[in-house]
């Protein structure tokens, strides 16, 4: 009980520091140190536990850095913008919410960070808002809901780290989440339509692409990088051919470079990809320290006891832990990392397959990753020009979308098992 309270105190201290604008990496490291000491460990033991936690996440860090090649290709070459623009043009003004949701859904599903996906699609949404009588907040909610749904089936850091900690392959986790992801996408559409009260379009809308620097790209060349990546990852569950994400993700990026013929931009692509992934890698180091303390405490056993006391299934730990850790860090990646690193062994020991444990943790991490003490809240609000008060009003709806993803993932596991 003493070590459990220490881990809880350390986690609460980390949350308090993050809320008070301390960088999450240092906040988590400070919380880990305080939690170990408060839990009864000596200073040397606490440091060793923190280092062991970082050692556990190091394979995921390497894979996440390699994913920067794919991410850099999609963003630097304009492939992500081409994909989103094409979707908006094809679906047209009668399906604006669906177009925005599906655009961010697809961008996240092929490996673009959710905040980058929203930033990519946001200029289109603002162009729509200027021509139609639709509040910007509705358009932003459509983009966020689509992004959250696509994020649970993407080769993004949150999925990579969850699969790594549950010792399962990334492609299996991605494929297992397809049904919950599409449920989340459909429910996003229903929710946005409901809160907008089916507001009628009052003006004719003609979509214009203001940034025409990527007009020379074709849709197929833009899709080549994610398609090759997905095919390589699919070889393991379909044919038993194992290609690690460490290889598949960069190879997908190389295929994109060859199809777009942008080899002159390779240095810029690699630089941008590293810039996008480096903050995530350092964040995982911080989360690894506190995850090491939590793993060496009795917190997971205490949580299982509490669920049994309340007559709830042990498997509820997966989505609940993902949601709680995402609330603590206001980050999908950090939430999935903390929850999977802390509870993976426990969940596997009670009979939950690694694929489903990883999926439920990953889906649970979307429930509260948008809280104001994280960057996602401010980035998405700022790019759409929403004031703090208006951005705050979207939190209940974002939480509901995340809960739909988590609940549908859990129900799918219960149905299959």
* pLDDT tens for each residue of 364-373: 999 988 887 7
Mean pLDDT of 61-74: 82
Question: By residue range, what is the domain housing residue 376?
Answer: 4-199+214-416
pLDDT band at 63 (very low <50, low <70, confident <90, very high): confident
Question: 47 or 63: which carries more pLDDT confidence?
Answer: 47
Least confident stretch, 8-22, 228-242, 258-272: 228-242
d(CA 72, CA 310): 47
In a domain, 173, yes or no: yes
Q: Kindly report, residue by residue over 215-242, the tens digit of the pLDDT.
A: 677 888 888 888 888 888 778 767 777 7
Residues in CB range of 310: below 8 A, 6 or more apart: none
Residues of the chain with pLDDT > 70, as a percent, come to 89
In a domain, 204, yes or no: no
pLDDT score at 409: 94
For residue 366, what are the CA distances in angstroms to 84, 92, 340, 352, 407?
22, 29, 14, 20, 11
pLDDT score at 1: 54
Contact 304, 4 (CB under 8 A): no
pLDDT beyond 70 at 312: no
Mean pLDDT of 61-79: 82
pLDDT beyond 50 at 201: no
pLDDT beyond 50 at 203: no
d(CA 413, CA 219): 35
For residue 62, what are the CA distances in angstroms to 19, 282, 331, 389?
29, 11, 20, 39
d(CA 368, CA 353): 25
pLDDT score at 207: 47
Total domain count, the chain: 1
| DSSP-based three-state secondary structure for 261 | coil
pLDDT beyond 80 at 123: no
Contact 402, 369 (CB under 8 A): yes
State the chain's mean pLDDT as an integer. Answer: 82
pLDDT score at 113: 80
pLDDT score at 202: 45
pLDDT beyond 80 at 328: no
Least confident stretch, 172-181, 222-231, 303-312: 303-312
Residues of the chain with pLDDT > 90, as a percent, come to 20
d(CA 376, CA 383): 11
Mean pLDDT of 27-43: 90
pLDDT band at 204 (very low <50, low <70, confident <90, very high): very low
pLDDT beyond 80 at 172: yes
Contact 30, 272 (CB under 8 A): no
pLDDT band at 34 (very low <50, low <70, confident <90, very high): very high
In a domain, 333, yes or no: yes
In a domain, 61, yes or no: yes
pLDDT band at 78 (very low <50, low <70, confident <90, very high): confident
Mean pLDDT of 382-390: 79
> What end-to-end distance do the CA atoms of the chain give, in Å?
33
d(CA 272, CA 79): 14
In a domain, 209, yes or no: no
248-258: burial string, b at 16+ Cβ within 10 Å, e else: bbbbbbbbbbe
pLDDT beyond 60 at 199: no
d(CA 402, CA 338): 18
* Maximum distance among all Cα pairs of the chain, rounded to whole angstroms: 69
pLDDT beyond 90 at 391: no
């Amino acid at each position: 009980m003493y070590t459990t309270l220490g881990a809880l105190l350390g986690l609460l201290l980390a949350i308090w520091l993050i809320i008070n604008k301390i960088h999450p990496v240092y906040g988590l490291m400070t919380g880990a140190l305080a939690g170990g000491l408060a839990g009864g460990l000596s200073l040397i033991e606490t440091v060793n536990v923190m280092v062991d936690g970082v050692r556990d996440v190091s394979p995921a860090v390497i894979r996440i850095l390699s994913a920067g090649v794919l991410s850099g290709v999609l963003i630097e070459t304009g492939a992500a913008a081409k994909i989103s623009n094409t979707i908006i043009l094809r679906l047209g003004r009668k399906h604006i919410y669906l177009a925005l949701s599906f655009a961010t859904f697809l961008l996240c599903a092929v490996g673009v960070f959710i905040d980058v996906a929203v930033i990519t699609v946001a200029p289109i949404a603002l162009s729509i808002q200027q021509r139609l009588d639709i509040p910007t907040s509705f358009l932003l909610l459509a983009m966020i809901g689509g992004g959250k749904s696509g994020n649970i089936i993407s080769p993004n850091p949150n999925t990579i780290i969850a699969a790594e900690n549950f010792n399962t392959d990334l492609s299996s986790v991605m494929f297992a989440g397809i049904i919950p992801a599409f449920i989340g996408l459909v429910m996003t559409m229903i929710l946005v339509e409901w809160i907008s009260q089916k507001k009628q379009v009052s003006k004719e809308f003609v979509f214009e692409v203001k940034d025409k620097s990527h007009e020379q790209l074709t849709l197929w060349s833009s899709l080549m990088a994610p398609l090759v990546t997905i095919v390589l990852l699919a070889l393991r569950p379909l044919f038993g051919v194992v290609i690690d994400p460490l290889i598949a993700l960069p190879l997908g990026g190389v295929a994109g470079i060859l199809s777009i013929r942008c080899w002159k931009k390779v240095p810029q692509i690699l630089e941008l990809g590293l810039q996008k992934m480096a903050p995530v890698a350092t964040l995982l180091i911080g989360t690894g320290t506190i995850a090491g303390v939590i793993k060496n405490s009795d917190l997971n056993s205490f949580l299982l006891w509490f669920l049994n006391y309340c007559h709830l299934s042990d498997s509820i730990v997966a989505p609940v832990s993902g949601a709680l850790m995402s609330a603590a860090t206001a980050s999908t990646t950090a939430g999935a990392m903390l929850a999977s690193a802390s509870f993976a062994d426990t969940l596997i020991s009670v009979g939950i397959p690694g694929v489903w444990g990883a999926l439920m943790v990953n889906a649970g991490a979307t429930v509260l990753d948008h809280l104001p003490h994280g960057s996602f809240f401010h980035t998405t609000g700022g790019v759409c020009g929403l004031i703090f008060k208006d951005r705050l009003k979207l939190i209940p709806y974002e939480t509901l979308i995340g809960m739909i993803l988590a609940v549908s993932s859990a129900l799918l596991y219960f149905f299959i098992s």
